[in-house]
Structure 1
């Protein structure tokens, strides 16, 4: 074998070996953090529990992470929406209100991009939860949903009892939310009344929060799209 032939074989074979190596060993290395570890109220330390590592089929100690609690609201059709609908689903939640003229249209437009990207993926659902439930009746939500071409059983616009929605935002999805009129009755402008987060929240099939994203920032929503795909690959690699 001449020196030139050896070099040629190396140039041809190494990329093939590298490709095979990545396909054989790279699929199980996807990572996506979990958020909000559970704190033991008696010790003040992060809770730990045994879990089975699907990759190595071994039991190990791992951090216990907060899970979104069960909830029940009303969708844009006027039907009861139970969080059980989201069992074994990946979903993205956001908070808005139909009278909002500032950040809400921007957020909803970005959620619409998510719908377009995952329109054929039954594993991915979208939630837009009103922070102005007294005004945002199912009828108003249906009109708003139509404005953004929301697809039935893919993108849910939700309203309900304020006593349910506000604790759900604050203690469930861990995003800020306030009704300023409760502190200053002189405030009448809806945009000044409802103070809510622009964040989109990615939730996995186990109801763990896997990411927070700026819903008014296209690049950050692009990152969300990529991380949904990463999360799906993680589930596929664990089968």
Structure 2
């Protein structure tokens, strides 16, 4: 009897793991998810806008939420070249708002972006854009010096300037982050840091232009989370190929 029990245990030890492995290999599937942000609201009803899911899987709803996408824009980069958002299609990118004279949060954000750039240096589908909220001062020449200070790689990290009437609405209505020029309503402000009010958030945007996350760019742990979620997005696109 004891002999048969030992034989049975041996079978369990050897066979069960093999069966589990075969099951996982055959039926197992890795699932990577990352939410989309900023659902669109129907202005007449106040309800979230929905659209029909053309090919729903068994566990997916028949209707999908309609989400905001980043609008098209055209600005000037640190080399004085026209930078069109068309070049961001098919890329995962991180955006933030800054200005070169900023002495408060911008150096922290830019240092963290340098760190992110180094991690994804060999990932051509990942890029970075920093948009100036002080475009009257931040000429391409000024941004070029700033880019060099933070070791921005050509073709990887772009610093953008242009018309303030375009950049400010793009920040608020496009990337959903606040920005303001305090001198417009407070004539007592004197320093650049008092004048230009902008967010410390970094915004993760996917290849289709959907916002996938907001992160405190001055906080290393938050930027670590951003780093991880970029990798999650990369995995999502890999599994969809």
TM-score using structure 2 length: 0.91
2:203 aligned residue: 201
What is the aligned residue count? Answer: 238
Match of 1:175 in 2: 177
Deviating beyond 6 angstroms after TM superposition, the runs of 4 or more aligned structure 1 residues are: none
Q: Provide the rounded CA distance (Å) in 2 between the counterparts of 1:82 and 1:120.
A: 22
Q: 1:132 & 1:232 partners in 2: Cα distance?
A: 33
Q: Deviations over 1:65-102 (max 9, x none)?
A: 00100001100000010000101111000011111111
Which of these residues, 34, 39, 48, is aligned with residue 41 of structure 2? Answer: 39
Q: Which runs of 5+ in 2 are unaligned?
A: none
The answer to whether the 8 Å contact 1:50/1:59 transfers is: no
Alpha carbons of structure 1 residues 142 and 53: separation in structure 2 relative to 1, 3 Å: farther
In our comparison, the structure showing a higher alpha carbon Rg is 2
Alpha-carbon distance in 2 for matches of 1:204, 1:148 = 24
Gaps of 5+ in 1: none
SS in structure 2 opposite 1:235?
helix
Find the residue that maps to 2:62 and give its secondary structure. strand
Aligned to 2:104: 102
CA distance in 2, matches of 1:22, 1:197: 45
Taking structure 1 as reference, are residues 19 and 94 closer, same or farther at Cα in structure 2, changes over 3 Å only? farther
C-alpha spacing 1:214/1:13, structure 2 compared with 1 (3 Å): farther
Distance in 2 between the 1:54 and 1:222 partners? 33
230 and 95 in structure 1: CA distance in 2 versus 1, 3 angstrom threshold:
same
2:141 to 139, 142, 154: 139
With over 3 angstroms needed to count, the CA separation of the structure-2 counterparts of 1:188 and 1:121, relative to structure 1, is same
The answer to whether the 8 A contact 2:70-2:209 is kept is yes
Does residue 77 in structure 1 map to residue 79 in structure 2? yes
- Tell me which residue corresponds to 2:89: 87
Cα distance in 2 for partners of 1:13, 1:116 equals: 46
| CA root-mean-square deviation | 2.2
| 3-state SS of paired residue (1:42) | coil
Change beyond 3 A, Cα 1:142–1:60:
same
Instruction: Please show how residues 147-166 of structure 1 align to structure 2 within 5 Å.
Output: 147-166=149-168
TM-superposition CA deviations, 1:105-143 (whole Å, max 9, x none): 000011111100100001101001111101110001000
| Contact 1:76/1:141 (<8 A) preserved | yes
